[in-house]
Every structure is written in structure tokens, then in C-alpha cells.
Structure 1
Amino acid sequence: MLSNSSLTDKITILIVDDHKLIRDTWSFILNSDDRFRVIAETDSGQQAIELANSSHPEIILMDINMSPMNGFEATKEIRKIAPSSKIIGVSMHSQPAYAKKMLQMGAVGYITKNSSKEEMITAISEVAMGHKYICNEVKTILSEQILEDSEKPDVNLLSQREVEIIDLIKQGQSSREIAQHLNITLKTVEVHRHNILKKLNLKNTAALVNFINNAGIN
């Protein structure tokens, strides 16, 4: 039997999820670890607010996909009445936008339901120590998005003359026709076309035309 002192040393946890199997599984995992104690669980965002107010758990595992009150709304209310409780958002969604919104509501951590048992325990431990925690799945997706954004063509790099030439290409004009239209040499047009492809990181004219159409350049 645990002594009172050993009980108080444990990190107290409230589990909020509308699936009983998930609540039971998390409770079993966490209560099997000497560092944690699940003090309550619920399938309701509204009841989560009441339990947070009455028991002030150190950590709240908050499912964001519930109804009628979702985890975002419950988190926002709990932060008002139990600011000492640290909330970790839990969701099937791995898109960084969900994690960002949860943090904006007052959570300090975010894991997905694809996260491993070890990562959930790591998240709880880190948050309990005052750190923020975002699971590896979300961080990987965020890194990929940042890399993709950095590789996207930036039309702001183009000069006014290059924009004019792109507009004429969009109209279907050949390099010779563009040269006549702008009263410049054919060689100058070809140099501009080369520079446009280089600045936009595009391989050829076909890729440029596709970019023009998709980007909606006027």
C-alpha cells in the first residue's frame, strides 16, 4: 500500500476523452508508472471544467474532438479557473494548425493518438517540469512544411521587366514576338527568360507556364 507521502509525490492527472477504451488504456498505463496517478477521467468537456475546478490536477490530457463542448473550448475555460493545471492536447489530427490553436487556448503540450506510450509519458514529464512539448509527428510535418515553403517560387524576386515578359508569355507570345512588343533584342528576351526560370527555381518554359497558370499571375 502506498503511503500518503508517496501519493502526494505522484503527478496527478485528469483524462478527458469521449472514448472509454482510450480512457481505460491511458489510466492503466499511467497508473502502472510510479510517477503518475490518474485522479479522475471524463468524456465531457463541461465535466472536465468542473473536475479541474474541484481537484486541480497537475496535468490534464485533453481530447480536442468532443461534443457538444470540444477540447479547445474546455481548455480555454479551465485556464481561467484552474491556471495551475497544465493541459496537453490530444488528437487524431497531426496538422500543426491544430497544435497551434490548442496552444493559443492555453495548452502547453500536444500529442497525437499515433504517439507512442513512451512519448506520452515524456510529454507529461516535460510539461510537469514547466516545459512545453509538441510530439515528433507534428514537428516532422511542420519541418516539411517549412522546407516546402522555402522552395516555393517567390514572384517578389522578379523585376518589373520580367513580370512584363511573364505576362506576354501567358498571352502565348513567342520570344521573337515579345522582343518586338517590348522593342528589345531577341537575345535580351532570352536572357530575361533564363533569369526568370532561375529566380523562380523552375526547369523550363513548360514549368514556367504551369506556374503562371497556377499562381494566377496577372
Structure 2
Amino acid sequence: MIKVLIADDHPVVRRGLRETLSETDDIHVAGEAASVHEVRERVRAERWDVILLDISLQGGNGIELLPEIRKERPDARVVILTVYSEQQYAIRALRAGAAGFLTKEAAPEKLIEAIRKVAGGGRWVSPELAETLASLLAGETSGEPHERLSNRELEILKMIASGRTVSEIAKDLALSVKTVSTHRTRILHKMSMRTNAELTHYAVRHGIVS
């Protein structure tokens, strides 16, 4: 039996995932978590075969949590399950230690297939992402400018491009205005841009925000 932890901040999503996985005879959802704090507690308290981890969690970011999970439970296999597109986060999630990456638009049978594959020691990505990874390994593409950003910087880029002010971002992320401003400066430098308008145009063009 594959023991699964669902980590998602939306109760409706958790319930839907539980119902989907209950239709199998080899996968058992043994726990749920809505926040970074709850994930840490559940991971420390129990052994898990597979952790379904959303990127957006109460109190933090799932990808930033990945190294902690890998350190605490090296045998646990983490599948990122998110609304964000592969283009935005998949490669950085895999680099951080995820064994699989799916968007929430994936068919239920794909989710079940992914859980079974990673539980058996494999990895799961879509054919499209596999092609992108193969191209990167072959040196055929150097990646997009936003791939140079840290997870926190990408998060702040998304918020800037969504029209949030530095003060609003600082409040939402529990950071100082100075820290957010420093992140913004680094983002502009890494992406060779000078204004928020340029960042916003880039983010819309690349599907980082709608």
C-alpha cells in the first residue's frame, strides 16, 4: 500500500484528491496538511511513501520546503501538484528534489500513474516537459531569463506583474519593505530590465501571470 500525504491549502482540492485516490486499491491517503507548518509536523511525525505538494501553501512556498522534506525524509517521494504551469516552475521543482510534477489540470489517471511510478523509484513528468529537459541536457536551450531567479524572486516577480505595490508585497510575505525592494532590484538586474512595466510585459508574454 502506498501511503500518501496531501499538502494543499484548499479543502475542496484535498477532498477531491482523497476521493480520486480512494478509488484505487493500492494508494491510501493517510494524512492532509494545509500549511508549511502542518507539512513539517506531519513529515517529522510519520513516514510517507509519496507527498503530493502544492506550491502555494499557507505560510510559505512548497518548492522552498522541498529541501527540508528531503533532509527529514530522504525516502519520501514528492510530487508537485499545482495550478502553475510547467513553464513557470517544473524545472526548479525537479532541481529542488521533486520526483514528479503535474498541473491540477492533469487527468485523474495521470495523477494515479505518477504516484505509482514515483513510489516505485521512478520519476514522472509530462512528455512536453521531458522534451524540454532533454533539450536542456543537450545544451539546445539556455533557458528563459526568469529561470535565473530564486523561488522567492519569482514569487515577487509574479506579484509585481499582478500590480501589487512593494508595501503590499511586504505585508503579504511578512517581509520588510526594504527586503522586498532589494529583491526587486535583484530581479531587474538578473533580467536586464529597468522598470516594473518591463517586468509585467515579460510576465504576461511568458504566461507567468494571466
Deviation of 1:67 (Å): 3.5
- Cα displacement string for residues 95-148 of structure 1 (whole angstroms, at most 9, x for unaligned residues): 334111111211111000110000000100110111111134644777899xxx
Identify the residue that residue 81 of structure 1 maps to in structure 2: 72
The answer for the alignment partner of 1:125 in structure 2 is 116
What is aligned with 1:57?
48
1:43 aligns with 2:34: yes
Q: Which amino acid aligns with 1:23?
A: R
On the 8 A contact 1:119/1:135 being kept in 2, the answer is no
Q: Give the match for residue 12 of structure 1.
A: 3
Contact 2:8 2:35 in 1 (8 A): yes
Q: Using the alignment, how far apart are the partners of 1:74 and 1:116 within structure 2?
A: 26
1:180-199 pair list within 5 angstroms = none
**Cα distance 1:22–1:138, how it changes in 2: closer, same or farther (>3 A)?**
farther
Aligned in 2, Cα 1:114/1:64: closer, same or farther, shift over 3 Å? same
Counterpart pick for 2:104 among 101, 113, 128: 113
Give the match for residue 195 of structure 1.
Answer: none
Mapping for residues 131-146 of structure 1, pairs under 5 Å: 131-136=122-127, 138-139=129-130
Specify the structure having the higher radius of gyration (Cα).
1
Matched-pair contact (CA < 8 Å) for 2:34–2:58: no
Where 2:52 maps in the other structure, the secondary structure is strand
Letter in 1 for 2:31: A
RMSD over aligned CA atoms reads 2.3
Q: 1:182: which partner in 2? A: none
Partner Cα separation in structure 1 for residue 18 and residue 86 of structure 2: 26
Which shifted more, 39-48 or 64-73?
A: 64-73
1:112–1:135 CA contact under 8 A, matched in 2 = no
Query: Could you tell me whether the CA contact under 8 Å between 2:86 and 2:103 is conserved in 1?
Result: no
Q: TM-score, normalised by structure 1?
A: 0.58
Deviation at 1:59, TM superposition (A): 0.1
Return the offset for 1:32: 2.1
User: What is the number of equivalent residue pairs in this alignment?
Assistant: 139
Unaligned runs of 5+ residues in structure 1 are 1-9, 151-218
> CA separation in 1, counterparts of 2:23 and 2:86?
31
Distance 1:68 1:54 in 2: 20
SS in 2 for 1:133: coil
Q: Retained in 1: the 8 A contact 2:3–2:49?
A: yes
Q: Which position in structure 1 is the counterpart of 2:189?
A: none
For 1:144 and 1:80, the matched residues in 2 are separated by 30
Partner Cα separation in structure 2 for residue 64 and residue 107 of structure 1: 11
**Equivalent of residue 69 in structure 1, options 60, 68, 81:** 60
What is the CA deviation profile of residues 33-67 of structure 1, one whole-angstrom value per residue up to 9, with x for unaligned ones?
10110010011122112101211110000001223
Task: Check if 1:28 corresponds to 2:19.
Answer: yes
Counterpart of 1:39 in structure 2: which amino acid?
A
In the superposition, relative to structure 1, how do residues 19 and 136 fare at CA in structure 2: closer, same or farther (>3 Å)? farther
